[in-house]
Amino acid sequence: MNNMFSLDGKIALVTGAAYGIGLAIAKALAGAGAKIVFNCSRQETVDRGLKAYKELGIDAKGYVCDVTDEESVKNMIADIESNIGVIDILVNNAGIIKRIPMHETSVEDFRRVVDVDLVAPYICAKAVIPGMIKKGHGKIINICSMMSELGRETVSAYAAAKGGLKMLTKNICSEYGEYNIQCNGIGPGYIATEQTAPLREIQPDGSRHPFDRFIISKTPAGRWGTPEDLEGPAVFLASDASNFVNGQILYVDGGILAYIGKQPK
């Protein structure tokens, strides 16, 4: 059974993995035996990531690469293949969100979110698939969202991109499953990270933030998720244990998508 989940000898590229969800997933893959490669768009963020990995005892390789730039991605993949090896596992984690009412969102902001959250996973998958075909196997994990299924105010661009990412996941499965390439998604619920910390701050009167109360009321688990909650699902989808799982989105949301909510009293 342990061998089914082993990633010994595998090379994993996790995009945008200097901190938060990406770092937690990369840490889990490394713990299962994978060699970790990650990228960020700025050198200072790469340096932050390298420091975090060193503190965890992980020998990771970091690249400065804008995943929305196809030539930059091609160059990074070529360098990885030349100096480390052909990528076995790609985790498309890099993403952004802009919380702006749709009628106030500029076309430029809308396109930027779609570029990072949808076009970039396409570019990265396109770049690694040829190597995976030659190698005879590959795992692609797209970090989707509950917004792959649901709409919500102020996140029109994000929901459009993550909905598209769900369908890109299914299409990669459809097109490349015959080459023993599995493409699946993880759809995190509301995760307690530094980005969401302001939404969980205790208010001056000692009460919980209204959004914090809202999320807790909508989550059967009764809590926010943690980055560590995503580690097991990531290892499963990256390992041989999921070799006949393809084109699926695994929602790690504490049950939100299964729950209609409590009846008002």
* C-beta separation of 65 from 46 below 8 A: no
CA–CA gap between residue 156 and residue 62 (Å, rounded): 32
- Choose, from 53, 122, 158, 251, the residue flagged as catalytic: 158
> Does the active-site annotation cover 158?
yes
User: 232: Cβ–Cβ under 8 A, 6 or more apart, which residues?
Assistant: 28
| Cα–Cα nearest to 181, from 95, 250, 87 | 87
CA–CA gap between residue 142 and residue 166 (Å, rounded): 8
* Residues comprising the chain, all counted: 265
| Cα–Cα nearest to 73, from 259, 51, 81 | 81
CA–CA gap between residue 220 and residue 255 (Å, rounded): 6
CA–CA gap between residue 5 and residue 109 (Å, rounded): 40
Say whether 5 sits in a helix, a strand or coil: helix
Query: At which residue do the structure tokens 């749709």 appear?
Result: 102
The Cα-based distances of 104 to 101, 150, 158, 163 in angstroms read 5, 20, 14, 21
* C-beta separation of 98 from 23 below 8 A: no
Query: At which residue do the structure tokens 């030349």 appear?
Result: 82
Which amino acids are annotated catalytic?
158
